[in-house]
Amino acid sequence: AVVKLIPPPTGDETKPLKCLLFDAWYDAYKGVIVLVRVIDGTLKINDKIRMMATGNQFVVEELGTFMPTPKSVQTLCAGEVGYLIAGIKALDQTKIGDTITDANFPTDAPLPGYKEVKPMVFSGLYPIHGDQYEPLRDALKKLRLNDSSFTYEPETSTALGFGFRCGFLGLLHMEIIRERLQREYNVDLLTTAPTVIYKIVATDGKIIMLDNPSQMKNHANIDHLEEPVVKGTIITPEEYIGAIMGLTLDRRGVQTKLEYLNPTTVIMEYELPFNEILLDFYYQLKSCTKGYASFDYEFTNFRCADLVKLDLLLNGEVVDALSMIVHKDKAYYLGREVAKKLKEQIPRQMFEIIVQAAIGSKVIARETIKALRKNVLAK
């Protein structure tokens, strides 16, 4: 039955080599080990191969299959799946989904269907202890090896020190990466608030993609800002329609569809700004529907919005890690809330601390943390 239902692999051993790289991991002794499926041609030990996406070239040192334990072989032919070791030492020299071909007799085009995934959520990861910066960097390299949708680059914060700006597919992806860093690599992390990517359109028509609010000050002559918009789909019992409408209206959502799946269940579709659902929308949705509603979303496009950069200042100094881009209508409320929360969380010192929220040079909220009173009678 299996032979009849599942067709055998197709491929031509006489054609130029064409392999799909679909997984990889790092070995301390052998370097990067990649899993490949041979689509066309034959892969042999000592062959010189080329990664078509990166252009890197290597010489095959070892081939094998899993039976289920690794078993070395001399060749991998069209239709076979196995592992490849080629002395790949740098973790960024391979990409999941890349096409491997013969460096001397390459194939005409890479395998179709591979599209590099672009992250949609960004956050800063900083080691709590300064001596963990190098272990964190090595851990990020290893995670990037078998998760091509995860990106990172070094960044420096005046408040938090040296860290990395990381890109994720969503909040769940971010939580998984953070948990793996802490559990598998024993790195204690401080994570900044997640943000989305914005599009800056300059007065000369130039387009800049902004993933870090603190970098907005580096761009002058801004004509307008655009924010990512998603299509959200909510399936819920009909008695919670009113509560969901109120929640989505508060998040600047626009309803595009309401349809009854059956007499008691409805499907609702909304256009929502991505940054409005980023933090607690899912939890608020579950709360107002007593856990019965489900939510899914997909990115649609960028749209122009009235956005401003909200800065937080301590004694007149901007804390870049706390900067955020928000809608102008919510800036005053968020500024007051964050300033009040900082006042509650920052311990009192021997001097007065002034907490301010500002849009540009205009201060919109202020809280004061009073200094500790000196005991002049103490000896």
pLDDT digits (tens, 9 = 90+) for 85-141: 998 887 678 888 889 999 999 888 888 866 667 788 888 899 988 889 999 998 998
State the DSSP code for 280: S
As to burial, measured by CB atoms within 10 angstroms (0-12 exposed, 13-18 middle, 19+ buried), residue 349 is exposed
Asked if residue 338 is part of any domain, the answer here is yes
CATH code assigned at 163? 3.30.70.870
How far is residue 254 CA from its own chain's centroid? 26
Q: Which of 112-126, 170-184, 230-244 has the lowest mean pLDDT?
A: 112-126
Q: What is the CA radius of gyration of the chain?
A: 26
Residue 359 lies in a domain: yes
Q: pLDDT value at position 5?
A: 83
The reply to whether 55 falls in a domain is yes
Report pLDDT digits (tens) over 243-281. 999 999 999 999 999 999 999 999 999 999 998 988 788
Whether pLDDT at 177 is above 80: yes
Is residue 262 domain-shared with residue 311, that is, in the same domain?
Answer: no
Distance CA 134, CA 230 (A): 37
Residue 279's region, left for phi above 0, alpha for psi from -120 to 50, else beta, is alpha
Residues 164 and 251 in one domain: no
Count Cβ atoms below 10 Å from residue 138 Cβ, excluding itself. 14
Residue type (1 letter), 174: M
The reply to whether 170 and 142 lie within a common domain is yes
- What CATH number is associated with residue 17? 2.40.30.10
* Amino acid of residue 185: Y
Above 70 in pLDDT, residue 171?
yes
Mean pLDDT of the chain: 88
| Closest to 101 in 3D by CA, of 180, 20, 220 | 20
- 170 class by beta-carbon count within 10 Å (0-12 exposed, 13-18 middle, 19+ buried): middle
In a domain, 112, yes or no: no
d(CA 24, CA 142): 10
At 145, which amino acid appears?
L
**Predicted pLDDT at 93:** 82
Tokens describing residue 212? 């870090």
Cβ within 8 Å of residue 172, ≥6 positions away: none
Same domain (yes/no): 297, 328 = no
Average pLDDT over residues 220-224: 81
Using 50, 70 and 90 to split pLDDT, how confident is the model at 1? low
193 vs 312: CA distance, rounded Å: 13
Q: Where are the beta strands (DSSP E) in 67-179?
A: 70-73, 75-77, 81-85, 99-102, 121-127, 151-157, 161-168
Q: How far apart are CA 15 and CA 327, in angstroms?
A: 56
Q: Is the pLDDT of residue 379 over 60?
A: no
Which segment, 11-15, 187-191, 230-234, 281-285, is predicted with the most confidence on average? Answer: 230-234
Count structural domains, the chain.
Answer: 4
Identify the CATH number of the domain in which residue 280 sits.
3.30.70.240
In which domain, by residue range, is 160 found? 121-192
Residue 377 has pLDDT above 90, yes or no: no
- Residue 278 CA to residue 244 CA, distance in Å, equals 17
| Lowest mean pLDDT segment, chosen from 66-70, 97-101, 212-216, 342-346 | 212-216
Please indicate, yes or no, whether residues 319 and 300 belong to a single structural domain of this protein: no
Question: Quick one: 13 and 30 in the same domain?
Answer: yes
pLDDT at 29 over 90: no
